[in-house]
Amino acid sequence: MVRKAVIDDVQSIYEIVEAYAARGLMLHRPDTDIYDSVRDFFVYEDGGLVVGTCALHISSEDMGEIRSLAVRENFIGKGIGRKLVEACLEEARSIGLKKVFALTYKTGFFQRLAFKTVNKEVLPHKIWGDCIKCVKFPNCDENAVILDLGRK
C-alpha cells in the first residue's frame, strides 16, 4: 500500500536510502534531512514494514523532482517503484506542477513511465545545491529524465 510518510517512517526511509547510498547508487540523506522533508515522502508498506520510498520535491514554480526512490532489495521487481512514482506524479498534478524530473542511473525504468532523457544542463540551477553534497560532484554520472505532465 502506498501512503504519505509520517514521522514514524523516517528511520525506515533512512535505512532504505542508506543501503543504496552506501553502494554509491544514491545520494546519502541524513535522517535530519528526512525529518525536514518528511512531507515530501511517500512510502510503500507491506505487512506493516516500509519496503519502499520516494519523494516529490518542489524545485520551482512549475517543476518538481523525484528523489530518494528506493525499494528494499528483496521487494524489487514487484511494481513498488512504479506505484511510488505514480503517487508522486499524481500529487505533482494535483498541486499544479507542469514537469517532473529525476537524476537517475535507472533511465529505462523512468522511460517506461513516459519520462524522456534530457541533458542535465536544461534543469534549473538550484537543483545543484544537493549535488554539491555528493561524493561524485562535479563528475556526476547520473542521467536526467523529465516528464511533461501535460502529456502521457
The stretch 22-46 carries a mean pLDDT of 94
Q: How is residue 28 written as a grid cell?
A: 546519502
Please give the DSSP secondary-structure letter assigned to residue 77.
T
Confidence band (pLDDT; 50, 70, 90) for 150? confident
List, in sequence order, every beta strand (DSSP E) within 14-75.
Answer: 41-46, 49-58, 63-71
Domain 2-148 is classified in which CATH homologous superfamily? Gcn5-related N-acetyltransferase (GNAT) (3.40.630.30)
Dist. CA 109–CA 82, nearest whole Å:
8
Whether 141 shows a pLDDT value over 80: the answer reads no
**For the segment 62-85, what is each residue's pLDDT rounded down to a tens digit?**
999 999 999 999 999 999 999 999
**Backbone angles phi and psi of 53, in degrees to 5:** -150, 155
Question: Residue ranges per domain, the chain?
Answer: 2-148
DSSP state letters, 78-90? SSHHHHHHHHHHH
